[in-house]
Amino acid sequence: MKSYRQTFHISPPYGFMNDPNGLSYFKGRYHVFYQWNKKFPHGKEVHWGHFSSQDLVTWQHHPSVLAPVDYYDKNGCYSGSAIEYGGKLLAFYTGNVKNTKGERETYQCLAISEDGDNFIKYGKNPLINNFPSGYTPHFRDPKVWQKDGIWYMVIGAQREDLTGTAVLYKGEDPFNWSLVGEISKEKLGYMWECPDLFPLEDKDILVFCPQGLEPQGDLYNNRYQCGYMVGKLDYKRGKFAGSPFVELDRGFEFYAPQTFLTPDGRRILWAWMGMPEEGDQPTLAENWIHCLTIPRELYLKGEKLCQKPIPELENLRFAPHYLPKFTIEDTFRFIKEFAGERVEINLEIANIDAQEYGLYFRCDREQSQYTKLKVDGKTSKVTLDRDRSGLWTKGQRTVALNSVENLKIRVFIDTSSIEIFLNEGEETFTARIFPDDKSVNFGIYSIGGKVEVLKAEKWDLKAGIIF
């Protein structure tokens, strides 16, 4: 049986992984906690799983840190965040409860650790008892931060009219909270999950996952969406004013992102490389499902939130190949030096006059199985096509760029995933793929004209996950 186990992406040893939680740096280690249903597919028991690293590259798995054993979280220790305070790591999370009538109850809770590995739940949990008037029990995913000595918490919510929003709380300390109100009057979908609000350069960024958006052409074609607004939070009024909602990733599997600040001041993001209600991938045969993205550094180009792979990932590289400039005109060409199952590929392509050009990743020699990135020279649209990527996967996703005359493309391929960064992360495609063992080749083509490949670099990538 072929194994689709990821080698440099965080994935669970077994069971169901979803949202990254509690991203933090504490006592010399980076910590990634995550939603972990250990009993999947035979039951549901959501813990906080745990990985840690000293370098953001090599990750050690640890025992889970939060278990659903108390009255306020007995049906799941749901998503949340972590922050250092007084030499301790504080983890804020949502306790999910189904009462005897089958109704949902929701509680915002706290657990405290002195070492990052062992947590004790706060004796006065819950911090926020159930949910405020005007909202439904869909009230979860606290993200906590400090500003000017005041604590703030943003929570994803659903109004009683079944529209989504995010709600702000504040406190003088991390133990006592008061409701400020909704940060936005936008009505996007029926529920906002996993909100994150943070400063970046001279702006504030609101990231969230609105459920219930209808497709609009090339937009909003996944089961649920994830995106952002760029603007400013008025801390006195608790109101966020920002740009229109923009999707954060243009691929298939990208949801529930969370960010944190590194000691050197970088804003780093992980996302779940999956979707809610997506529980049927081929890895179930190996008793695990889903993974996280690679860590990405965020930066702004105007009001465009961009993502680029963190430089620490370069430590995974070995066996480099660098090709001189070459042209492709109305043909397909395999690049044998770029074959591999786990690779990083870095390209810069100038479109001379081609109507279309593109790249084949994880391709077999017969060109019957591949993941294709297609560039339309007329419309400047770029499409990720995984109709022939292998098991399970189907579909296409498209984004329009301002220009494709000169396109920078950086790609990370693991055993069962592909992440594509266009023009230094102005746009990204993230997707799971499940090709055969023989599909390890790379090719490039053009139709109706010529392209010049100005830069072509490839590295094999080492494993970075330790169970």
Widest CA span of the chain, in angstroms? 69
CB distance 90 to 120 below 8 Å: no
For residue 140, what are the CA distances in angstroms to 30, 89, 171, 460?
24, 20, 18, 40
Q: How far apart are CA 382 and CA 359, in angstroms?
A: 11
Instruction: Kindly provide the b/e burial profile for residues 146-180, where b requires at least 16 CB atoms within 10 angstroms of the residue's own CB.
Output: eeeeebbbbbbbbbeeebbbbbbbbbeebeebeeb
Residue 300 CB coordination number (10 Å):
14
Q: How far apart are CA 142 and CA 33, in angstroms?
A: 14
19, 73, 196, 414: the catalytic one is 19
Q: How far apart are CA 120 and CA 233, in angstroms?
A: 33
Whether 385 sits among the annotated catalytic residues: the reply is no
* The residue to which tokens 């979280």 are assigned: 73
- Give bridge partners of residue 203 from the DSSP assignment: 200
- For 284, phi then psi, to 5°, come to -60, -30
- Which strands, in side-by-side order, build the sheet including 288-289? 288-289, 15-26, 29-37, 46-53, 59-66, 465-466
CB distance 415 to 433 below 8 Å: no
Q: Which residue type, as a one-letter code, is found at position 200?
A: L
Q: How far apart are CA 205 and CA 300, in angstroms?
A: 10
Task: Find the distance separating the first CA and the last CA of the chain, reported in whole Å.
Answer: 21
Q: Which residue type, as a one-letter code, is found at position 404?
A: V
Q: How far apart are CA 302 and CA 282, in angstroms?
A: 41
For residue 228, what are the CA distances in angstroms to 71, 218, 329, 374?
34, 17, 39, 26
| Cβ-Cβ contacts under 8 Å for 227 (sequence gap 6 or more) | 207, 208, 209, 210, 245, 246, 247, 248
What residues are annotated to the active site? 19
